[in-house]
Structure 1
Amino acid sequence: MHHAYFLRFRLERATWGVVAVFLFIFVFSAAQAQNTTSFNALKDTIEQKKDSIERIKREIGTYEQSIRLRQAQAASLSNQILILNDQIQRLELSVRATEEEIETVGLEITETERLITERERALLLKRAELAAGIRNLWQREQAGDLDILLAYDTVSDYFNDLENVEQLQAHVGDTVREFERLRKDAELTHETLTAKQQELETLRAELDTQQFNLSSQRTVKAQVLVDTRRSETQYQKQLRQAKQEQAAAEAEVVSVEKKLRETIKEGARLERLRALGAPNFTWPIASRTITAYFHDPDYPYRYVFEHPAIDIATKQGTPVRAAAGGYVAKAKGVCNGYAYVMIIHDQGYATVYGHLSKVSVKDDDFVEQGQIIGLSGGMPRTCGSGNLTTGPHLHFEVRREGLPMNPLDYL
C-alpha cells in the first residue's frame, strides 16, 4: 500500500509540474499582451514614415517632369537656371526621402530585434513545456500498468488518468511541431534583421551620394552665375566655348586612338599588347559612389554634350589605377585645361581617365592592370580639371572600336 501511495505521489507531482509550466506560460502571455501594445505603436510610426516617404516621392516626380520639359526647350541662361533650381529642389527632396527611409529602416530593425527577443522567449517556454510533458510521460512509463492501477482508489480514476495521458501525448506532439515552427520563424527573423542592416548601410551610402550631388549642383549654379555675370550674351558665349572644348577633347581621343591602332598593327608593340590578353576591367579607384552615369539625363552639363562616361566621387588626389593592362596612347598632363590618360587595350578596347590633377605615365608606356597612372582631380579651377567639372571625382570611360560604351557593363 505504501508503494502505491508513493507511486501516486510521483504521478501527481509530475502532473503538477506540467500545470506549473502552463501557469508560467499564462503569466508570460499576459506580459506579452502588454508588449503587443508597444509593437503596434512602433508599427504605426513605421507606417506614418512610409506615408511621408511616398508624399516626398510624389513631389520629386513633379520636379522630374518639370526638368524634362525645360530640357526640351532651347538653351538659354534663364532656362538653365530654372533647370538647376528644379534639380536642386529635387535633390533636396531626395535627401529628405532617404533620411526618412533611414529612420524607417532603423525602426524596422528595432521592431525585428524585439521580435527576435519575443521568439527566443517563446522558444524557451516551448522547450520547458516540452521537457515537462516528456518527463511526465517518462515517469509513467517507468511504472507498470498494474502499479498505476493500484495507485488509484477507483478504476474510474485510473481510466480518467489514461485519458489524460493520451491528451498529454497529443499535446507533446503538438508542442514539438510548434517548437519547430518557432525555431524556423526565429531563423527567418534573424535573416530579416541581417537584410535590414545591409539595407541601412546601402541607404547611408546613397545619402552620401545624394548630398555630394546636391553640393555639386549648387556649385554648378553658382559657377554659371559667376561666369556669365547673369548676362544671356555671356552665357551663350560660355556655351559655345564649352561645346568647343568638349568637341576638341572628343576629337583628340578618337584621332589619337585611331592613329595609334594603325601604327601598332604589327610589330613588337602589338605582340606586347596581345600578350596582356583580353581586358577584364577592374574599378580604377576604391570608391563605388557614382555621381553621374553614362548618358545621364540629369548630368548638369547635358546641355553641352551627352555624358560618355561615369563620374566616380573621390577625394582630390586619390591614386588612379589602370583598369586593365595596356598601352598608353595619350598622357595629357596640363594645368590650364583638361588632363587625362587614354590606354589602349587588346580586342579594340580603350579606357579614358579624366580630370587628373597629376599624370604619372607618359605616351608610349605599357602599364599593368592596377598600376597607378595618376591622381584624381576635378576640383573646379585646379590643375587638370578643365572647365566642365563640379567637384572632386574621376571621369572614367570605356570605349570599343572608338565608340563610348557604358563602363558599368564592363566593371
Structure 2
Amino acid sequence: MKLPKWNFWNFGGLFFFYFLIWAVVLAFLPIWLKEQAGLDAGQTGLVFSAISLIALCYQPFFGVISDKLGFRKNLFWFVVCAALLMGPFFTWVFIPILQFNIWVGAIIGGIYLSAVFQGGVGVVEAYIERASRASSIEYGRVRLFGSIAGATATLIGGMMYLANPISIFWFASASAAVLGILLRTAKVDTSSSAAAAADPASDGGEITKERVFSIFKLRNFWFLSLLIVGTASVYDVFDQQFPNYYNQFFPTTAIGTQRFSELVSLQTAIEAVLMIFMPWIINKIGAKNGLILFGILTFVRIFGSAVATDTISLSLLRLIAAVEMPLLLVSIFKYITGVFDVRLSATIYLLAFNFAKQAAIVIFSSIAGNMYTNIGFQNTYYFLSAIVLVITIISIFGLSNDKKHRSPVGTVQPNSKPNMVASPKM
C-alpha cells in the first residue's frame, strides 16, 4: 500500500494543532471566566458576544486578503503568532483588564480571541483547502485531523484544568509553536497543473474591489448564504443549550452531564471515521446534494429531539451530528470551488459561510433563549426545525448544480480557466 505523501500529514498536522488549541481553550473558557476571573453569567455572555461581533468585522477582510495572498502564508502566520500569546494573555493581561472595566475587557478579549478563533478559523481552513487542492489531496481527509484534535482535547483538557486552570492556555501556546513549525515546513508545488487551478492569480487576474463586490450580484451567493443561515446557524443555536435539555431525562444533572460527555466522545470518534469517506461520497452525489442532505439531517435531529421520549432515542438522534458535520465541511468547499470563481474561494467562504453563520447565531441565540424560557424546549425545537425544513426546500430549487461545473479533484481540463464570477445556470 502506498503511504500518503508528506503534504497530507503536514496539512493534517496544521488542522490537528489548530483545532487542539480551539477545543482546549473554548471548551474551558466559560468555566475559567466564572471561577478564575469571577464573572457572572451576564458578564460571561458579554465576553462571548464581543467575540462573535468582532469576528464579523474580521471575516470580510480576512477573506479578501486570503484570496489576494493565494499560497502565501502571511495571514496564517498572523493567526499563529496571536495563538502563541495565549498563555501570557490569560496569565497576566486578561483578568486585570476585566477587573478594571468589564466592557473594556470584553472588547479587548473579543479583539484577541476572535482573531485566533472565530475570525482566524476561516483563514486556516481556506489556506489548507487551497493548498490541499493544489497538492491533489482531498480536503476532507486532512480535515479529519481536526476531529481527532477535538477528541484529544476532551481527554487531556479536563485533567489539565483540574490540575492547574492556567495550564490549558500555556498548553495552547505550546501547540501554537508546533503549529508554526508545521506551517514553516508546509510546501505547495506551484508548478503543477493542480496548483495553477487553485492559484487565485493563475490566469493573471488581480483580486480587485470590483471583482470582490461582483460576488453580491450573484443569485447563487445569496441562496448559499440563506442555506447556511437557515441550517448551519440553527444547528449551532440548537446545540448551545441541548445539554440542559438532555439532562432533564436523567435523575440528576451529574448523571446527565456524564452521559452527555460520553455521547459527545462517541460522536467525535464516528465523525473522524466518516471524514475519511465523506469526500468520496460527496464526489458521487455532488456538493449541492451534500448541503441539502445536511439540511434534512439537521431537521430530523431537531424535530426528533422534540418528540423523543427516552434517553436512548435522544442519544441516537444526537449521533446524527457525527454525519452532519463531515457533510457540511466537505460539501461547502466543494460547492464553492465547483460553482464560483476559485480565485475568490476564501472571500466567498468567509462571507457566505462564516460571516452569515456568525451573524445569524448572534440573532437566533437571543430569540431561542427567550423561547426556551417562555414556551419550553420542545416547542422551541418545533420552531427551529420548521425554519430548517423551509430553508432546505427553498435551497433545493435555488442552489445551482455543482456537478455541471466541477472537475474531479486535482485535475484540470485542457485550456481551462477558473469558474468566473457569473450567475451560474440552473
Pick the TM interval, shorter chain.
under 0.3
Question: As a proportion of its length, which structure holds more helix?
Answer: 2
Structure of higher CA gyration radius: 1
Question: As a proportion of its length, which structure holds more strand?
Answer: 1
